[in-house]
Amino acid sequence: MLEVHRELLLDKVRTSAYRDAIRRVVTADSVVLDIGTGSGILGFFACEAGARRVFAIEDQHSADLAMFLTKHLGLTDRMTVIHDRSTNIELPEPADILVTETLGAFGFEERILSSVINARKRLLRPGATIIPQRVELFVVPVELPVIFDRHISCWQRSPYGLDFSPLAMFASNVIYVANIESSAFLASPARIISCDMATAESADVSGRVQFEAARSGVLHGFGGWFRATLAEDVVLSNELPMTSWSHAFLPLERPQSIDAHTPIDLTVETSDGKAWRWSGTVGSSSFDQTTWLAAPPCRA
């Protein structure tokens, strides 16, 4: 647990961006709700900015770490750590500001949408400030032979003389994390999904984008990343290799050889980051992948 939070705290791009956003909106009258507080760092920033009261919520055992540090830093008069899911709790007073860093490599994996929507309805004052204000997802067609071989083609090689090849299909329906260089891009990146945290009504979101290949190559799947607008002029993204997040890689079951100008159509859908589907066409060929097929069905 400590090692995870050490890595997060050392990510100065991530942590400083949130600190800047918190400083811009917190006042001496602010009641702040921090969902997914982890070590408590964002709650501590809210106290540092002068918040009257901070409720820091964490469902993992890092809540114990946050409680320990809250006492150590002498902030127990203003910051309360609650070890539970935010959807289970009630607050003694509604919050003016919600801050949450529950962002995965592809934005929504940590269920940020459902937790924010729930908090807006039950735990916040009308018109409360939300950090991040907006989360956008970006995608790009990529040629990644080494990563595709590591995660998918490897099942075709009959390890120990046994035929494991059917597992390649399941492996192609997993979203992986990888560091993707721009040299792997087969077209220009495009935004596919954009969510305003103050108005989003559903955690089930989707988007569609069309590409034209900029060069010939082999399409192995799609790279993805997020861009989060935390506050005015404060933007956090894992597009460039500057943060603790890697990129997402959404593979195809069967890589497609393409020429320059080949049309590529992609639709991405997610149910609160718990399940994903990416489908579309590459020229005249179609594909349809979903994390519901990431493993054989349980027969127990």
Please name the residue that has the structure tokens 């890689």: 249
Bridge partner list, 268: 207, 278
Residue 99 CA to residue 58 CA, distance in Å, equals: 13
Q: Which of 3, 58, 90, 101 is catalytic?
A: 101
**Annotated active-site residue in 90, 109, 110, 269:** 110
* One-letter amino acid of 262: T
| Active-site residue, 110 included | yes
* Rounded-to-integer distance, Cα 211 and Cα 264, Å: 5
Cα–Cα distances (Å) from 245 to 106, 150, 217, 282, in that order, read: 9, 20, 27, 29
What is the distance of C-alpha 62 from the center of its chain? 19
What ranges make up the beta strands (E) of 20-90?
Answer: 31-35, 53-58, 79-83
- Helix (H, G, I), strand (E, B), or coil: what is residue 198? coil
**Would you name the residues annotated as active-site residues?**
101, 110
